[in-house]
Structure 1
Amino acid sequence: MKRRNLISATAAVAAASVATVARAQSQALPTIRWRMPSSFPKALDTVYGNAQTLASTVSDLTEGRFTITPSAAGELVPPLQILDAVQNGTVECGHTAGFYYIGKEPALVFDTGVPFGMSPRQHTAWMLHGGGLELMRDVYAKFNVVQIPCGNTGAQMGGWFRKEIKTPADFNGLRIRAAGFLGHIYTKLGATPQQIPASDVYTALEKGTIDAVEWVGPADDEKLGLHKVAKYYYSPGVLERGASLCFIVGKQHWEALPPTYKAALEAACAEAGADMLAKYDATNVPALKRLVAGGAQLGAWTPQITEAMYKANEEVMKEQAAKNETFRKVHAHWSRFLADQVLWSSVNDGAAEQSMNAQARKR
């Protein structure tokens, strides 16, 4: 046999062997079916779409052997009880935000986002390369749950208000829908916070059960119709520079997954997360233009209001750190990382953005 033919034959045999091994390994992988309730309704196609993208990608990467079926808020589990359902084994996994459960563990707020905290990029850096993921998984371990970051809304708006807000005193007596630590801050400002799921926000605002609502941003707020029942829309979202979502899975289910499926799940969460933030960045601007054209009064927090919010946030952080060891540990680590990120932003990204804004104002 000539040398060329020998090489060709050897290559063909090797390729066939590899294909055979791959088929055997693929066929050896189990068929797994999970249910994944979400905290968000189908009407919010970007945030709920994050769950759908995640599930679809997992199925694609595993050739349909590992499927996750998402369900919208309230269809399978109440929207603010996803962690409970995963913890007690009612479902295998869930799609939610950690700060919905600060009543169980205040440190879970760092999984989602803290007022005057990190941007989505900074939060991702902390999670993936700053030790944040390890810290948060230690926190979730108390609930026998494993967490994977899976998306971020980007900076959120300050919210919709029935009356104009000109000074910190204007918050006195207001009933406002606010999640996470935002509620603690509004309490400091004299308001009464309420944690209400997205499906009930419009009705509560329309009936006057609440006077204001902080939800996400123009794209989602428009879909919920909040501009129809409140006139004043405020920015910037200093209280929520980004809200990170999480995929959570019962520890026993996670540990039972083959390594291939774990890798597929983590890759799917990363892809869904990148797509979610990009979609919000693309859709918020045209939505804001429509809202303003439709009569929404776009306003900005005054320096006095942001200063009052900042002071209230500092007080809340100190109070929580003083009485909760887990919170104190995570907060100290998170704060050090944020300080470095703020420094870097002041040197480069943030400075460049300020320069661009200054030039835009001259045009």
Structure 2
Amino acid sequence: MAMGASVAAFVAATCLAALPARADDVTWTMATHAGGHWLEHGAQGFADKVALYTEGRVKINVAQPSTLGSPLTTTQTVKDGIAEAATTWGGHVQGIDKTGAIVGGWPGGLRPEEWFFWVYEDGGLDLIKEWRMEKFGVVSIPCDTGETEIFLHSHKPVRTIEDFKGLRVRTSGAWAEIAAKLGASTVVIPGDEAFSALERGVVDALEWAGPGQNFKSGFHTIAKYIITPGVHYASGLTECIINKDAWDKLSEHDKVMVEVAGRLNLYESYARYGELDIDGWAKLHEAAAGGKNEFIKLDQSFIDAAQKASNDWADEQAGNNEWFKKMLESQRATLKKLDTWGEFRLPIGGVRE
């Protein structure tokens, strides 16, 4: 099935539906959980599409991170009605419910392309919506994807688990707990404080995003080592969440249009962030040409240990959290289904010679 064609068909079908009586025009404020491309292409891209597809009936003013509260608590900001909408990452609520790690992305979870299968074909969308409403009382619309990240920008080289032990690492989500089990000392701080923490030596290393955003953030200018692959975070999902009272005031047609905006923004973000990361990876190598930076690949023994620790952690959470178990089993079913994908498709990338 052609991905672009399916999205176009979905948009066309909904746009051709008969319009019900119009509700009053509304203007929402959107809190945001992160800056950079998540703000520029994620939050603002969603807001622009909502305005377009609702023909201006729903306008969203996107706020900078931290202006309406902590970027780590945007779910509460929306639930409390401080903002009608927000972007959020599931890992930020795992202190309340560990299921957030499964929704936001975790080390043993879905890679960028795999989210589309789980969310739109394998029931993930309904699970996310039900979980968000039951646990937090907000409407959830997946609206932005996350790329596979660089594992670390670090002042110290890391290749093995022994190198990792005792390392002070800025991280978040599931990896904050899993990395601690592997011997690291983890620190959870918002992304807008990450550069300063690394520069001042509050942490030895950090993970934040993919090559595109990390290059723009300048971490390579203050830490010598650039370490891959991103075993801590296969990729993730950003949700655009909406206050239930604000949502209920929309017409049924405009609700559908807001959903359409989220779906298309999710697809577009995959391509956009992939392009930014390819460009950022090249720029990181150009910047390192003078010897200021060194690229390191994790030993396979580290990768294997991280994967085992991640799966052990997930199985432990599933044993005492029904929502976590439900999400985990659903994602693992999608991954098992996709095992056969490589049997009939060609790999991505490479010159066709």
Contact map agreement 2:227 2:295 (CA 8 A) in 1: yes
Which residue of 2 is the match for residue 149 of structure 1?
A: 142
- Return the alpha-carbon distance in structure 1 between the equivalents of residues 45 and 320 of structure 2: 39
- Return the alpha-carbon distance in structure 1 between the equivalents of residues 85 and 40 of structure 2: 15
Pick one of 241, 245, 256 that aligns with 1:248: 241
Q: Within 5 A, what are the aligned runs for 1:1-363? A: 28-41=22-35, 44-141=36-133, 142-295=135-288, 296-341=293-338, 343-349=339-345, 352-353=346-347
- The Cα offsets for residues 61-105 of structure 1, whole Å up to 9 and x where unpaired, read as 223221011111112221111011111222111112111111111
Contact map agreement 2:159 2:297 (CA 8 A) in 1: no
Contact map agreement 2:23 2:249 (CA 8 A) in 1: no
Contact map agreement 1:162 1:232 (CA 8 A) in 2: yes
- Return the alpha-carbon distance in structure 2 between the equivalents of residues 297 and 46 of structure 1: 27
Aligned residues: 332
- Return the alpha-carbon distance in structure 2 between the equivalents of residues 348 and 192 of structure 1: 43
- Return the alpha-carbon distance in structure 2 between the equivalents of residues 316 and 168 of structure 1: 17
Contact map agreement 1:52 1:70 (CA 8 A) in 2: yes
TM-score, normalised via structure 2 length: 0.88
Higher CA-based Rg: 1
RMSD (Å), alpha carbons: 2.2
Question: Which of the pair is proportionally richer in helix?
Answer: 1
Displacement of 1:60 after TM fit?
1.8
Contact map agreement 2:166 2:183 (CA 8 A) in 1: yes
Contact map agreement 1:173 1:191 (CA 8 A) in 2: yes
Contact map agreement 2:31 2:85 (CA 8 A) in 1: yes
Gaps (5+ residues) in structure 2? 1-15
- The Cα offsets for residues 232-253 of structure 1, whole Å up to 9 and x where unpaired, read as 1122223322121110012222
Which residue of 1 is the match for residue 3 of structure 2?
A: none
- Return the alpha-carbon distance in structure 2 between the equivalents of residues 244 and 348 of structure 1: 27
- Return the alpha-carbon distance in structure 2 between the equivalents of residues 60 and 133 of structure 1: 23
Displacement of 1:154 after TM fit?
2.2
Structure 2 counterpart of 1:34, one-letter code: W
Percent of residue pairs bearing the same amino acid type: 28
Gaps (5+ residues) in structure 1? 1-21
